[in-house]
Chains A and B, each alone.
Chain A
Amino acid sequence: MSTAELSGSTHHDHHEGSYLDGPPGFWSRIWQWATTVDHKKIGVMYLFAVMFMFFLGGVAALAVRLELLMPIRTETLADGSTVVTGQILSSILGATEMSSNEIYNRAFTLHGAIMVFMFIVPSIPASLGNFFLPIMIGAKDVAFPRLNLLSWYIYVFGSIFGVASILMGGVDTGWTFYTPYSLTTDADHWRVVLMVLAAFILGFSSILTGMNFIVTVHKLRAPGMGWFDMPLFIWALYATSIIQVLATPVIGITLLLLIFERVMKIGIFDPAMGGDPVLYQHFFWFYSHPVVYVMILPAMGIISEMLSIHCRKHIFGYRAIAFSSLGIAAVSFLVWGHHMFTAMGELAAMLFSALTFLVAIPTAIKVFNWIATLYKGSIAINTPMCYTLSFLFLFSIGGLTGLPLGALATDLHLHDSYFVVAHFHYVMMGGTVIAFIGGIHHWWPKMFGRMYNEKVGILGCAVVFVGFNVTFFTQFIMGTQGMPRRYATYVDEFHVWHVVSTIGSWLLFIGFVIHFLNFVHSLIAGPKAPPNPWGGLTLEWECESPPIEHNFHHEPIVKHGPYDFDTVVPPHCDPAEYPLPERPEPRA
């Protein structure tokens, strides 16, 4: 390609020959992006696509919280007539056939389905993973670049089905599509089938990306990089990819059966035809539990990277963190039953409860290692670090509140309550989304070649952190007090908590708007980024900001570990600013 030759000849200038450069002319550039096999361009396209889905899912979340600002009540006026209050969504949308409850049910289903299938599963692996996995192991691209482009188009294709279903009126099944409700609701319409088909198609994108990453990690590591010289983000993506390849086919089969059941009435899941609705739940969670680790493992990888670099200190317990990623991936396949403690016999419940506690151990080990990494570090207070600390705070709460859900006696109370809602938002949003936003800040200078405003970034992080806790901590309390999930209205006792939670959701929104404006400002007017603004030792900091099309001018040869801050001056950095410790020790 001409760009590659160009970048090879002019690599003394940072910005000529960057992967972002393209041919003149708007349509030529569009065509170049649409047909690219460059993992960086595909990563960036994924980044914008998943952030757009995050926005759509976020709007649905704000709608859900808005409806819950008031309970639905019937008031009798002085003249004896009655008026229904609290139907906020239907009064905003005006004349519609749907009741507020129906709009609410569709809103939370859209929120869940978009956030899970179109945002959080592809989020980190497909965007930051695609961009940085090859660079961090010193490769020019992933092992199968065309397959990578195919998985992007499959993602787009699947998302179109999902959006089509929304435009046709949306579905009210919940993102879990539990039978027999999902078999009978909206019987006259194809919306449910379209949404299920969307999730089915998106699964292929996930499988292909996972396969690509596994082969890339096995075959394309730079000379000198052994398995234990890999950055922990790569270990996390590797473990994630294994889960994606092994678990996603199961959801594919399950969703296909659901479509067959709905369209052809074959009688697998529908009790009216002799089917078993619990079988569906087993199939569904056999994928959907491992997939929560697809969501959280890459986030853990990002945290390991950011923590080490912004503390300028070797990560504590490298091997323990790497192996705990694999351990979590392995045990994650054995705990699906804990979503169904209210639907299974005593023996199965006991076994799944025990296995659930087993998966808590490697997770706890990671948190201990991260906290220990702070000890005697040189800790920079910047946006990535603020997000890392926020992650540790929120993810610890999310993990610890998993304990009463894994214990059977307490789970019978908390199952399907707001406690569960709060728990998984602390893990998924407080964990994955927080790490993702932190990771975008961390790698922003590398991806786009411009710095963002640090003060605005820290402000945004603070607003998101406060807003998040106001929104979701209240939900723990509602849950233990007896508030069931997926309720459009509620008893008066929960009103105050719901009001606080809804105000928190607005704070969260403001926080994300601050980040969005900061990023837009950075793209337009941000100062140019140096190749290594944080002083990192992983390979992406050796290439330019933004990287050239083939990432490195020469194939890198790995001579030090990714976290050897004790012994190595980071590339492109002034040794005066990055002095080595006085008593350097040999690598352990």
Chain B
Amino acid sequence: MMFTLASSNQNWLTRLIFRSEPASNAAVFTDALFMMIFWFSMFFFVLLMGLMIYWTIKYRRRPGVPAPVSPHHNTPLEIIWTVVPSSGLLVIFVLGFWGYMEKVTPVSGALELKVDAWKWGWNITYPNGAESPEAQPLSEGDWDFPIFYVPEDTPVSLRMSSQDVIHAFWIPAFRTKMDVYPNRYTGFTFHTPRLRADEFVTDTSGDEPRQIPGRDLWVFCAEYCGEEHSRMAATLRVVPRNVYEAKLESFMADVEPVELGRRLWATRCSACHSIDGSPGTGPTWKDSYGYEVILNDGTSLIRDANYMRESVYVPNAKIVAGYPANMPSFQGQINEQQFEGILAFMRSLSDRGPAPDANGNGENGNDNGNAPEPSDTTDGGEQ
């Protein structure tokens, strides 16, 4: 394949410029066009700066010596320096449009992924309805961002929409991005690379981390979208088809509600809501369920299941005092089963709302919204 050839041909200059290998044919074309523009520009830049420096030294002012008479203009020269660069620009324009069409034209039979964006996160829904629960940081010590699996050597097209403001889905290795809007779909297409034999990534979804064949690509939000814009990232993980299919199957398998909730938190909620009590854009989930809270209109209530449900689907109906009305609605994004998981996870984080035991009975659950007895234990109840 063309891209495997090109990637092994990356020299020091293209490595410095692009860092990542071009991961698709369209990306190889883009890099080639960029390098063509680069050398075209270098030619004119070196020529002009060379003349500038040479003449500045040669014709520097000598006291009392006038500048010799020279022509005020030269029509043939001026025509040449208009026409020659212009024809170069024409070539660049045509090639640029060519490469652009390769990126945006839908491919029949492509794997279609639905991309959802919100402040601040990404989610991808696979054709069978599965969603990836896995997450990893892009750098050590950074937040966890979701991992999206795609099979190698496959055409993929994205159908994207936003729940709130404008975002942009950028995969630098494919040299492509597109804006993501509310109320309409945008998208682009790429052909995933074929993996080389020496490419491995670490799979941490099991009990023990293990090496699997794959390549991780950065995904960034490129359209400014607010406070955590710079932490609206993800990993696009290209894996062999059999790994991809096994992953999709595992994503569909039933899990305990608490685990489902934890996974949804990690990929969807963790940008704003902590689970360790630390402050964030939104209130922490630690010791929130069952606790009283003061709203920004001065009233207070006990955070029960109804409040939590409303906060997911109509988030700006009641705002906790001291926080901005920032959260997008997850209506249509989080289904009934998923919400049950989130609720179970929230309750597991609160000493006033432990998750139900095997018989389905909470220890001191307050689902009916009555105020709980003041707790003697101030912190760190068993969970």
Contacts and interface: CB of A to CB of B under 8 A. Distances in A.
Interface of A: 71-75, 82, 85, 97, 99, 101-102, 105, 172, 174, 178, 180-181, 184-187, 271-272, 277-278, 311-320, 341-343, 346, 349-350, 353-354, 357, 360-361, 364-365, 367-369, 371-372, 374-381, 389, 392-393, 396-397, 400-401, 403-404, 406-413, 415-417, 477, 480-482, 484-493, 565-566, 576-585, 588
13 contacts: A105-B227, A172-B226, A271-B183, A361-B89, A374-B59, A397-B45, A407-B93, A409-B29, A409-B100, A410-B96, A415-B222, A416-B170, A484-B222
B103 A318 contact: no
Nearest to B68: A376
A493 B172 CA distance: 13
A481 B17 contact: yes
A342 to B, nearest CB: 5
B142 to A, nearest CB: 6
Contacts of A407: 33, 37, 92-93, 95-96, 99
B322 to A, nearest CB: 8
A409 B95 contact: yes
A456 B37 CA distance: 39
A576 B168 contact: no
B224 to A, nearest CB: 4
Interface stretch (B49-57, B305-313, B338-346, B375-383): B49-57
Given A410-B37, A412-B177, A378 B61 contact: yes
Contacts of B29: 409
A486 B227 contact: no
A73 B78 contact: no
Interface string B140-151: 111100000000
A346 B177 CA distance: 15
Contact of A492 (B30, B140, B173): B140
B253 to A, nearest CB: 31
A378 B175 contact: no
A442 B69 CA distance: 25
B55 A584 contact: no
Contact of B226 (A105, A374, A408, A477): A105
A181 B93 CA distance: 33
Interface of B: 16-20, 26, 29-30, 33-34, 37-38, 40-41, 44-45, 48-49, 51-52, 55-56, 59-73, 77-78, 81-82, 85-86, 89-90, 92-93, 95-104, 138-143, 164-166, 168, 170, 172-173, 175-179, 181-184, 186, 188, 218, 220-231, 233, 278, 281, 322, 324-325
Counting chain B CB atoms within 10 Å of each CB, which of A172, A397, A482 scores highest? Answer: A482
A418 to B, nearest CB: 11
A389 B56 contact: yes
A73 B141 contact: yes
A375 to B, nearest CB: 6
B170 A374 contact: no
B93 A412 contact: no
B230 to A, nearest CB: 4
B66 A580 contact: yes
Contacts of A272: 182
A271 B183 CA distance: 7
9 closest pairs, A vs B, by CB?
A409-B99, A407-B96, A482-B172, A408-B100, A73-B141, A487-B230, A413-B175, A400-B41, A378-B67
Q: Which of A415, A565, A583 is the most central at the interface, judged by chain B CB atoms within 10 Å of its CB?
A: A415
Given A374-B56, A379-B59, A581 B45 contact: no
B64 to A, nearest CB: 6
B220 A413 contact: no
Contacts of A185: 226
Given A346-B101, A378-B59, A181 B78 contact: no
B225 to A, nearest CB: 6
A492 to B, nearest CB: 4
Given A491-B218, A580-B66, A101 B30 contact: no
- Secondary structure at the B interface, as helix, strand, loop or mixed, is mixed
Given A353-B96, A375-B55, A316 B89 contact: no
A20 to B, nearest CB: 31
Nearest to B171: A482
Nearest to A187: B325
A409 B98 contact: yes
Nearest to A102: B227
A565 B67 contact: yes
Given A374-B51, A577-B63, A379 B18 contact: no
Contact of B181 (A278, A314, A488): A278
Given A180-B182, A379-B59, A396 B229 contact: no
Contacts of A181: 165-166, 224-226
**Max count, chain A CB within 10 A of own CB: residue among B41, B182, B218:** B41
Residue of B51, B77, B229 ringed by the most chain A CB atoms within 10 A:
B229
A374 B222 CA distance: 43
Given A353-B93, A360-B89, A375 B70 contact: yes
A481 B55 contact: no
A480 B18 contact: yes
A480 B34 contact: yes
Given A371-B52, A377-B55, 12 more contacts: A181-B166, A277-B166, A312-B66, A317-B73, A320-B78, A392-B48, A410-B99, A413-B175, A482-B173, A484-B230, A583-B69, A588-B73
Contact of A73 (B49, B142, B175, B178): B142
* Most chain A CB atoms below 10 A, which of B64, B82, B98, B100: B100
B67 A581 contact: yes
